[in-house]
Amino acid sequence: MSKSVPVPFSDPPYLMGLPSAYYNESHRKWQKTCRALAEKLIVPYISEWETAGDVPTDLYSKFTEANFLIPNLSAPLPVKWLKKLGIHELPGGLKVEDFDYLHTLIYVDELARSGSLGPSGAVTVGMAFGLPPILKFGSPALQEKFLPELLTGKKRICIAVTEPSAGSDVANIATTATKTKDGKHYIVNGTKKWITNGIWSHYASMAVRTGGEGAAGLSMLVVPLLDTPGVNMRRIKIGGQHTSGTTFIELDDVKVPVENLIGQEGQGMKFIMQNFNHERLTISISVNRISRVALSDAFDYCMKREAFGKTLMDQPVVRHRLAKCGADLEAHWAWIEQYTYCMTKMSEADANRELGGLTALAKAQAGRVLELVASTAVLLHGGNGYTKGGQGEVAERIFREIPGARIPGGSEDVMLDLAVRQLVKNFQKKKKDLEAEMERPGGSSKL
C-alpha cells in the first residue's frame, strides 16, 4: 500500500494522527469500513454523475446490497426490528446494538468526503429523514405495514414537509387531509416542493393539515407516491446537489387509508420538530466535510501554483486567508464532535431538550463556514475556480453548494433565532425550577 503525507485540513484531527477522547476501536474500524465502501460506491464517479445531473438507477440497490443504508437512521438503531428482518450486523461486522451517534457522525462524514452532497443525498435522505417518524411515532400496525420493505430497501420513502409557501415556517403548511364521510380514508390535496428523493419514492412521510390553522392543526401521514392516482411528480433543477432527485409533488384528491396516520391527529408539529434535530446534525456534519474538501483542495493548489515568481503559499495574504478558514472549520468540527458525544450519553428526551437549539445553531454555523471556505477556495484558484472541470473543478462545484447548506433543514436566520429562543426557554424553566426548590420548606430544625 502506498503512503503519502496528508494535506493539512484534509481530514478531521482524529484521522490526522492526533489523539481523541471520543473514538474507541469500534469507531475507528467503522471509519475504515465506511471509507472503503464510499471509495467503491461513490467517490470515483462524482465528476461523471455531476456532469450527467443524475446517479445510476442501481445506486440505491448497491447501497442496499452492501447493507449501507441502515446507518442513516438515528442512533440507537431499531434493533428489534432489524433483527426481526435478519439484519444483525452492519458492514465491517459492527453489531446493530453497538451503533451509536459517533458511528452516525463517521458515516455521514465519510460519504460527504466525495466533495458533493448530491450523489450521497440521492440514496440517503429518504431513509434518514422519511423513515424515523414511522419508527418513533407510528403504531405497531403502521410499522408492520411499512417497515419490512423500507428497512430492507425494497421500497423507498421520503420526507415531505416543505411547500411553495411554507418552508421554515412549518406551521403555515396548506396541504390538507380531509376524512371521507365513512371515516375510512383521508383525501389529500396540495403541493410539496423541494422534496429530496421524492421522484423515486413509493411513499412520503408527509406533513398535512387535518385541523385548523397553525401548528395544532398539523398531522403526519404516510402518503403513497409512485403509481398513485392523483399524484404528479417532476424533478426540479437546482443550483447544487443536482443528482439528489429534488422534486415538486402535486396531490389532487389522493386517497390515503386512515390507518396511514402517524401517531394521532394534531401531533404533526411535534414529530416534525423532533425529526429536524437528526436532520440538522447530519447536515452540519456533511457541510463541514465538504468545507474541509474545499479547503484542503485549495491548500494543495496554493502549494503548487506559482504567481509573481513564487508559489501562492509564499504570499502572506494567501496564508492569512487559509488560516481564517482553517480556524472556523476546525472550531465547528470540534463543536459537532462535542454535541455528538453528548448524544451518546443522553436520553433522547434530554438531548431534544438540551441540544435542540444548539443543533440548530451548529447547522447555521455550518453554512457560514462553507460560505467562507468555498468562497476563499474559488478566489485562490482564480479563473480556474470559476471553471467547471480542470484544476478548479472541486472549488467551483462546492461553491454551488452554499445555498443548499444555508437554506434546507431550516434557513440560517430562522436557525439562529430558534437557537436563542430555545436557550432562553430552557434558562427560564431551570431558573423557575430552582426558585421553587429554594422556596420549598426544608423540614423542621432543632434549636
Which residues have a catalytic role annotated?
279
Nearest to 135 by CA among 223, 222, 199, 211: 222
> How far apart are the C-alpha atoms of 292 and 152, rounded to whole Å?
33
Cα separation, 70 vs 97, in Å, equals 12
Q: Is the Cα dihedral 159, 40, 106, 52 positive or negative? A: negative
Greatest distance between any 2 Cα atoms in the chain: 88
219 beta partners: 208
Cα(312)–Cα(398) distance, integer angstroms: 21
Residue 221 has what DSSP assignment? E
| C-beta neighbour count of 11 within 10 angstroms | 18
Task: Provide the total of helices (H) and of strands (E) in the chain, helices listed first.
Answer: 14, 12
Report whether 360 contacts 418 (CB < 8 A).
yes
C-alpha–C-alpha distance, residues 370 and 96, integer Å: 33
The H-or-E segment that residue 306 falls in is: strand 306-307
Residue 259 to residue 265: CA distance in whole angstroms: 12
User: Which amino acid is present at 101?
Assistant: Y
- List phi, psi (to 5°) of 115: 85, 10
Question: Which cell numbers in the block locate residue 429?
Answer: 424553566
Q: At 259, which amino acid appears?
A: E
Q: Which amino acid is at 106?
A: I
444 φ, ψ (degrees, to nearest 5): -75, 155
C-alpha cell at 377: 477556495
The vertex-224 CA angle with 223 and 225, nearest 5°, equals: 115
Radius of gyration of the chain (CA): 23
Give CA–CA dist 53/240, Å, rounded.
Answer: 10
Look at residues 292, 422, 424, 403 and name the one whose alpha carbon lies nearest to residue 360. Answer: 422
CA distance 10 to 1: 19
